[in-house]
Amino acid sequence: MAKQKKLSEEFTKGIIKENPVLRLVLGTCPTLALTTSVTTAIGMGISATLVLICSNIVISALRKVISPKIRIPAYIVIIASFVTIVQMAVKAYVPVLDEALGVFLPLIVVNCIILGRAEAFAGKNPVLASAVDGLGMGVGFTVALIFMATIRETIGAGSFLAGAESLLGAFGITGFNGFSWADKLATVGLEPMLIFILPAGGFFVFGILIALANKIAEGKGKKPAELHSCEHCSMRGNCPSFSQKEDESK
């Protein structure tokens, strides 16, 4: 019973307590770049989640075999292998999504969320717990992307789930391509607020969601999310810049 409770906590912490985007402020590049469309956000979230779960499982299983001196290169090779598999699957079955995700799909290899979980959790914990941790963090990442994309797409493009058929087609589902009310707005002389799907709108919505997450956290007596210095980075032990700063401080 205690084990089940612990696994449940490992899963839920990635969605709420330690949400990688809204609480840990990680993975901001794909978050800002790929949330102009809910469909793209879901595609990115699923891809990252699959890589997170699979890489966590393998890294955890090999944690006693991988030498501490070469663990980061080993982690990157493992993560890159799963990213390649996911990318090939997306290219084969959802080519439109592959084009929409662009360079951010292969860049999952160096996504700080995935490398961070490998270093901070999977490399130190059993396989099952690592798999649950990867699932929780992946779901939390996906939920944050969907929240941002929903706000930006509905206000900035006057649509919701536009292009969904390209994603659903991989599962044999056709005939649904999202909702659009841009034409109806035009009939009354209104237009979507384009700024919300531009970079400035992305930063604005991101800031609002973090502020909201901080408010909820404060209400529960928890610390607000903040950008940490190098001392808090899980990769600091292998970072030349951190070593240089440490030497200068000494």
- Bridge partners of 160? 179
Distance CA 204, CA 212 (A): 12
User: In terms of C-beta density within 10 A (0-12 exposed, 13-18 middle, 19 or more buried), how is residue 162 classed?
Assistant: buried
Distance CA 219, CA 213 (A): 10
Query: Is the dihedral angle over the CA atoms 16, 20, 25, 28 positive or is it negative?
Result: negative
Spans of the chain below 70 pLDDT: 1-5, 170-173, 220-250
Query: Is the dihedral angle over the CA atoms 78, 79, 85, 88 positive or is it negative?
Result: negative
Domain range list for the chain: 2-249
| pTM recorded for the entire structure | 0.83
Distance CA 107, CA 119 (A): 18
- The predicted pLDDT at position 242 comes to 45
The residue type at 221: G
DSSP state at residue 85 = H
Please count the residues of the chain: 250
Query: Is the dihedral angle over the CA atoms 106, 107, 110, 113 positive or is it negative?
Result: negative
- The predicted pLDDT at position 241 comes to 47
Q: Read off φ and ψ for residue 180, nearest 5 degrees.
A: -145, 135
